[in-house]
Amino acid sequence: MKLNRRAIFGTVTAGALALSLAACGGDDGESSSPEINGTGASFPDAFYAAAIEGYADVNADAVVTYDAVGSGTGKSDFGEGLNDFAGTDSLVGEGDGPEEGSYQYIPTVAAPITVSYNLPGVEALQLSQETLAQIFQGDVTTWDDPLIAADNPEAELPATEITIAHRSDGSGTTSNFSMFLDEATESWTLGAGDTIEWPSNSVGGDGNTGVAQTIQDTEGAIGYVDLADATESGLVFASVENADGNFTQPTLEGTTAGLEGAVVNDDLSYNPLNAAGPDAYPITAPTYILIRTEYEDAEVGQAVKDFVEYLLTDGQELAAEAHFAALPESLQQQALDALNETIAD
């Protein structure tokens, strides 16, 4: 009898043991200020991760997590009330989740999208907006095309065929890049969006790193990659013609210069693509944090406010190291004002 009962016990022990063992290992994780969770865009993750680390150094009690699950998931989580703030590269559209009036955009940083290429022997390449459109829609198929030669009178261009490297997944980078070509040029016919019907001389890659890899491996390849990944992969980027007609390299200074020229809407969304200014780099992607206009728990609201305030002030200094451009001061101030207005102390 006694043995039998113990035998039954034995059949479920695996589970019970797991629990009792785990109970021994548990620590008390309580902290005085509430933990806040953000989910969303992966594009600014490098910056947010650095900022969360920096924030922990300044404010040891505060706990912030940011889960880079993509802008789309971030927005739907926001709509479902699963996160305390969301990160997104694109604006909230209909059916994305968050209800009209329930959120406020807070721009945090921006980063350039590079036009990276692999052409041994050509170390500096200049591309006008028109040429860029012709290349990416497959009308220009070799590197020694007169259109490219006209932009680069001094370069010796080989007759190598052009291979377009693009994102195979739906991507905010694709969206911003195609939106730039769509807005800036007359001849661009492929439209704008998270996915594009690319011409036949193109190769898809998964994520920014996938595109970077394709460019690295393929002679004659050209593609669009965010600055952080392009730099880390050691790619060469072209100078792109900006709205003022100057050829500029994708640098953080050029990006910040581009932000200064951008028109900021009342809701703090802005479009930094092809912004005016002599030094502005034309292909710049913004990124935002969505904060709630109403927090059920005022302490959570305060914690979100403290963190976002840090992002907009001391946190901005961490941006450059992670290859992101800080906001110009005017926009920083606008964002701070909106933050103070949305979440009252």
Q: Which residues bind another protein (CB under 8 A)?
A: 1, 3-4, 6-23, 25-29, 31, 35, 37, 39, 46, 49-50, 52-53, 56, 63, 65, 67, 69, 80-82, 209, 229, 232
CA 136 to chain centre: 21
Q: 244: closest CA among 258, 232, 263, 233?
A: 258
User: Which letter does DSSP use for residue 270 in this model?
Assistant: B
Q: How far is the CB of 27 from another protein (least distance, A)?
A: 4
The smaller minimum CB distance to another protein, of residues 35 and 182, is found at 35
The smaller minimum CB distance to another protein, of residues 83 and 334, is found at 83
Q: How far is the CB of 278 from another protein (least distance, A)?
A: 34
Q: How far is the CB of 85 from another protein (least distance, A)?
A: 14
Q: How far is the CB of 21 from another protein (least distance, A)?
A: 6
- Distances in Å between the Cα of 196 and the Cα atoms of 168, 199, 269 are 9, 9, 24
Contacts of 235 (CB under 8 A, 6+ apart): 114, 116, 117, 118, 212, 215, 216, 225
The smaller minimum CB distance to another protein, of residues 157 and 227, is found at 227
Q: How far is the CB of 26 from another protein (least distance, A)?
A: 3
Q: How far is the CB of 338 from another protein (least distance, A)?
A: 26
The smaller minimum CB distance to another protein, of residues 87 and 272, is found at 87
The smaller minimum CB distance to another protein, of residues 97 and 282, is found at 97
Q: Can you state the angle between helices 329-342 and 298-312, rounded to 10 degrees?
A: 170
Residue type, 34: P
CA 345 to chain centre: 30
Local structure of 182: helix, strand or coil: helix
- DSSP H helical segments within 218-281, as ranges? 227-232, 252-261
